[in-house]
């Protein structure tokens, strides 16, 4: 071994069954400090899930004009029409709502309090049934009539009119932190219980809203690039990587979360993870 290699070699601590990345000595120090005092989100008592998959968006995701038309024809339609966001509509700390709505003919679920909610019966919503049966949403007539296309899709429930089963349907009634599955940088937003997301986005529920500041921080952006796959244009924010982010465990740091803001998060995180000035400079590059 040459003197140069001997003097400049950096030990890498990894397990054979885990992915690994070559880091400089100071980068290894930062990563170890973050992991030493943070707890991966996958070990929290929270839920991380993707949004609703319809199998036929042109039928089930409608414009505000169509929503208003269906409600005018039958006011009861309003019960199962909810605003929805796509991944592309989610930005850092904000969303760009495009006035799209989901016909939420869910397939039934068990609520948080144990109540069994039955599947939506389309016969109770005649205006919506007429739209699904006869509406002009079907631009691909060569692939079948409206009902044939509804029936062919794999993402359906007990009838062609129902959406696929989702055990966590009740979670959509909660405030949630959301992000796009095509994000290559932190773009987390907090939305209220009235808005749904489709399957091009993910959501975290049952988490302190202050966590959004940590997820959007430069520190977590830096850490994320060290654990995720590099696709050439950046690292995609897939659930499998986001759930590995080691945040301060809320149960042990309630006051920490209560005082977080967009302006003070970077400083508070540097102190929490015991980073020195040289390490902070690396994060801020």
| pLDDT score for 140 | 94
| pLDDT score for 3 | 56
| pLDDT score for 114 | 86
Q: What is the percent of the chain where pLDDT is above 90?
A: 79
| pLDDT score for 142 | 93
Per-residue pLDDT for 106 more than 50?
Answer: yes
- Record the pTM: 0.87
| pLDDT score for 233 | 52
| pLDDT score for 63 | 98
Give ∠ CA 69-70-71 in degrees, rounded to 5.
95
Half-sphere CA count of 58, side-chain side, radius 13 A? 12
* Over residues 130-135, mean pLDDT: 98
Per-residue pLDDT for 228 more than 50?
Answer: yes
Per-residue pLDDT tens over the stretch 189-199: 999 878 999 99
Q: Judge whether 66 and 123 are in contact, CB under 8 Å.
A: no
| pLDDT score for 58 | 97
Mean of all residue pLDDT scores within the chain: 90
| DSSP per-residue letters across 178-239 | EEETT-SS---EEE-TT-EEBTTEEEEESS-TTHHHHHTSHHHHHHHHHHS---SS-----H
Per-residue pLDDT for 261 more than 80?
Answer: yes
Quickly list H helices, 74-184: 126-134, 146-152
pLDDT range class, residue 37, cuts 50, 70, 90: very high
Domain ranges of the chain: 11-46+207-284, 54-166
| pLDDT score for 147 | 96
Rounded CA separation 183/15 (Å) = 28
| pLDDT score for 5 | 45
Q: Judge whether 191 and 238 are in contact, CB under 8 Å.
A: no
Per-residue pLDDT for 7 more than 70?
Answer: no
* Over residues 228-250, mean pLDDT: 82
Q: What is the percent of the chain where pLDDT is above 70?
A: 90
* Over residues 132-149, mean pLDDT: 96
Per-residue pLDDT for 16 more than 50?
Answer: no
| pLDDT score for 192 | 81
Per-residue pLDDT for 17 more than 50?
Answer: no
């Amino acid at each position: 071994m040459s003197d140069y290699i001997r003097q400049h070699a950096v030990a890498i601590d990894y397990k054979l069954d885990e992915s690994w990345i070559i880091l400089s000595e100071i980068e290894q120090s930062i990563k170890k400090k973050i992991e030493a005092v943070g707890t991966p989100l996958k070990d929290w008592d929270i839920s991380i899930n993707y949004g609703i998959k319809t199998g036929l968006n042109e039928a089930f995701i409608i414009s505000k004009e169509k929503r208003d038309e269906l409600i005018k024809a039958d006011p009861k339609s309003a019960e199962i029409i909810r605003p929805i966001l796509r991944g592309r509509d989610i930005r850092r700390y904000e969303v760009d709502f495009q006035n799209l709505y989901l016909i939420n003919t869910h397939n039934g679920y068990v609520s948080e309090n144990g109540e069994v909610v039955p599947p939506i019966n389309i016969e109770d919503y005649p205006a919506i049934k007429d739209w699904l049966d006869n509406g002009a949403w079907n631009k691909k007539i060569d692939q079948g009539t409206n009902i044939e296309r509804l029936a062919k899709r794999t993402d359906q429930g007990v009838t062609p009119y129902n959406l696929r089963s989702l055990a966590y349907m009740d979670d959509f009634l909660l405030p949630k932190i959301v992000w796009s599955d095509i994000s290559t940088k932190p773009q987390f937003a907090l939305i209220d219980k009235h808005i749904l997301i489709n399957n091009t986005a993910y959501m975290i529920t049952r988490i302190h809203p202050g966590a959004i500041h940590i997820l959007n921080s430069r520190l977590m952006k830096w850490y994320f690039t060290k654990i995720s796959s590099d696709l050439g244009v950046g690292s995609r924010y897939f659930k499998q990587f986001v759930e590995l982010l080691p945040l301060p465990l809320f149960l042990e740091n309630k006051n920490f979360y209560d005082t977080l803001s967009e302006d003070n998060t970077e400083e508070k995180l540097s102190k929490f993870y015991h980073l020195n000035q040289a390490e902070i400079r690396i994060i801020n590059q």
